[in-house]
């Protein structure tokens, strides 16, 4: 298990292969990722790396003391995000080690996590893809209703998790087995096939796919 990296979603685009076939892709920029902390199984119960990335326009004197200690130890300007990734015991790193876009390879599969775009309050048809009621034959004022939510006497309540109208989006989503179509080393960009959760310029986490073996 290798460490993941922190990236920034730039947006969507089209990619044309050598045979002229068009593929919809998402561009993710990998800025400088620095190892800012290490946890070991002997001391903490598990092995992981803390990664700091995405430059913050702050002076070192403006951050709180715990983070100031971290950024002083790695001799870096304050970073916006600090994220932890579990790793295997045989992965040995030191504080201050740096990763870039070459941490990944062209053609490999990755899992990408991000915060989905918030849609505010949404009805059941939009939120859960319900088909809705019939448009005629006696149906009145129930065309977009979600229907019955339970019986009156038994069980006499609505079960938790019932699919109903409510807040949609703005939660952590992970898309698995996304293929890296190409890597732009000059601009530190990953070209990933398909869509990635989150809005433009949002933070995403990229890790090796857990359901596919890495060659």
Sign of the C-alpha dihedral computed for residues 26, 32, 35 and 37 taken in this order? negative
- 3-class SS at 127? helix
H or E segment at 68?
helix 65-73
Q: What are 125-157's pLDDT values in tens digits?
A: 999 999 988 888 888 888 999 988 888 888 889
Q: What are 182-210's pLDDT values in tens digits?
A: 999 999 999 999 999 999 999 999 999 99
Per the listing, tokens 């979600």 go with 146
Q: What is the pLDDT of residue 214?
A: 67
Do 37 and 100 lie in one domain? The reply is yes
Closest CA to 89 of 14, 155, 38: 38
Q: Is the previous residue joined to 186 through a cis bond, with omega within 30 degrees of 0?
A: no
Distance CA 177, CA 2 (A): 16
Do 39 and 79 lie in one domain? The reply is yes
Q: What is the pLDDT of residue 90?
A: 77
Q: What is the pLDDT of residue 94?
A: 83
Do 18 and 32 lie in one domain? The reply is yes
Do 161 and 68 lie in one domain? The reply is no
Q: What is the pLDDT of residue 168?
A: 95
Chain Cα centroid distance, residue 137: 45
Residue 214 lies in a domain: no
- Cβ–Cβ contacts within 10 Å for residue 97, how many? 16
Do 107 and 186 lie in one domain? The reply is yes
Q: In this structure, what CATH number is given to the domain that contains residue 48?
A: 2.40.30.10
Do 185 and 162 lie in one domain? The reply is no
Do 66 and 135 lie in one domain? The reply is no
pTM: 0.84
Domain containing residue 76: 5-119+172-208
Do 100 and 184 lie in one domain? The reply is yes
Do 15 and 97 lie in one domain? The reply is yes
Using alpha carbons, list the distances in angstroms from residue 108 to 67, 82, 174. 34, 25, 17
Regions of the chain where pLDDT drops below 50: none
H or E segment at 126?
helix 124-128
Angle at 132 between CA 130 and CA 137, to 5 degrees: 155
Q: What is the pLDDT of residue 97?
A: 86
Residue 21 lies in a domain: yes
Per the listing, tokens 């088909």 go with 131
Q: What is the pLDDT of residue 77?
A: 79
Total domains in the chain come to 2
Distance CA 13, CA 146 (A): 36
């Amino acid at each position: 298990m290798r460490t993941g990296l922190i990236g920034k979603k730039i947006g969507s685009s089209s990619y044309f292969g050598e045979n002229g076939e068009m593929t919809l892709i998402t561009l993710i920029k990998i800025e400088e990722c620095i190892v800012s902390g290490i946890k070991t199984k002997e001391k903490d119960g598990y092995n992981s790396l803390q990664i700091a990335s995405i430059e913050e326009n702050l002076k070192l004197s403006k951050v709180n003391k715990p983070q100031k200690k971290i950024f002083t130890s790695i001799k870096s300007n304050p970073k916006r995000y600090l994220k932890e990734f579990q790793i295997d015991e045989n992965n040995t790193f030191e504080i201050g080690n740096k990763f870039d876009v070459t941490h990944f390879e062209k053609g490999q599969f990755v899992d990408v996590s991000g915060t989905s775009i918030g849609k505010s309050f949404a009805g059941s048809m939009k939120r859960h893809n319900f088909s809705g009621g019939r448009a005629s034959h006696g149906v009145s004022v129930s065309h977009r209703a979600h229907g019955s939510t339970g019986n009156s006497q038994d069980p006499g309540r609505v079960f938790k998790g019932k699919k109903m109208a409510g807040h949609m989006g703005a939660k952590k989503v992970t898309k698995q087995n996304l293929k890296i179509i190409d890597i732009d080393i000059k601009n530190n960009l990953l070209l990933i096939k398909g869509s990635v959760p989150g809005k433009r310029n949002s933070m995403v986490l990229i890790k090796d796919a857990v359901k596919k073996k890495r060659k």
